[in-house]
Amino acid sequence: MKHILDVSQFTRKMVDSLIHNAHKMKTIISSRGIYDVMHGRTLISLYYEPSTRTMCSFQSAMIKLGGNNIFIADKHSSVEKGESLEDTIKTLNCYGSAIVLRHPVKGSSQIAAAVSDVPIINAGDGNGEHPTQALLDVYTIYSELGDIGGKVPYLPMRILFMGDLKNSRTIHSLTQLLCLYDNLEFIYISPKGLEMPSELVEKINSCGIKQTSHYHLLEAVSIADVLYVTRIQKERFTSENAEDARNLSMQYQITPKIMGYAKPNAILMHPFPRNHEITCDVDTDPRAVYFKQMQYGLYMRMAILEWVMKY
């Protein structure tokens, strides 16, 4: 049985295999529209937090694989009556072939996996990790730039991470997954108090990846090959600090003017939802690949579902 709980479980060989299979899914769906290998299997989506892209892409992926879906939101389940996560997972084991879990508490996917007889797929646990987002992000970089680690020998690929680095589970997972690759450099820009967690910085440093914190947006944008932007995670703030969250979200913003300083072949990514950090008039810039990123997510999640459930 294969759970997907965090990125530490992946090797370079495993990630490369998933990228290959995601590309295979893209080719098959483009020509046939369906890849019927999950007939008779059911995916259960259990969401304790809101979701659009993760939820829809997993459900669409299961449909295109020929399987079925059951969606459960905590407000429409016995969780409202006080049922524990463990009991909910044991119950859903009776009805599904795998469970996609999104939960506000860091480490919840490990708790679920400990009592589950079917694969658990972590779809985000608080400010912990979001491993399948990281996998689709790596697939996006690979597909758009043709390589990871720099196409020109001896020149590192510079990846700019911007936004709420403290609470972004997508960045926490992606930076760790990218540690499997060579010739990379990470650049960080964040509002004060929302910097990358020190323990994660130390972990990445141990992988030999150069990390730099910048405070000048134009300078950072001008040298980046990948601009990875995230929103301020206002739901992680207390109600008393809600105004602070709104103000912080306006502190760094990508506009057409800012993109004028970016490299001609750079790509701009965002896991969405977005608030004020990228203006909508950037959407027409061919370097803005965040909607393509969502499409890549469908193919990667098809590859993931086949991997955890086929055998």
Separation CA 87–CA 78 (nearest Å): 10
- Amino acid at site 181: Y
**Could you tell me the sign of the dihedral formed by the alpha carbons of 286, 290, 295, 301, in that order?**
positive
3 is annotated as an active-site residue: no
- Residues 41, 53, 203, 263: which is the catalytic one? 53
- Residues 39, 75, 76, 81: which is the catalytic one? 81
- Residues 3, 26, 54, 270: which is the catalytic one? 54
- Residues 3, 130, 169, 231: which is the catalytic one? 130
- Which residues on neighbouring strands pair with residue 42, listed in sequence order? 68
Separation CA 181–CA 103 (nearest Å): 29
102 is annotated as an active-site residue: yes
130 is annotated as an active-site residue: yes
54 is annotated as an active-site residue: yes
Separation CA 22–CA 26 (nearest Å): 6
Residues that are catalytic: 53-54, 81, 102, 130
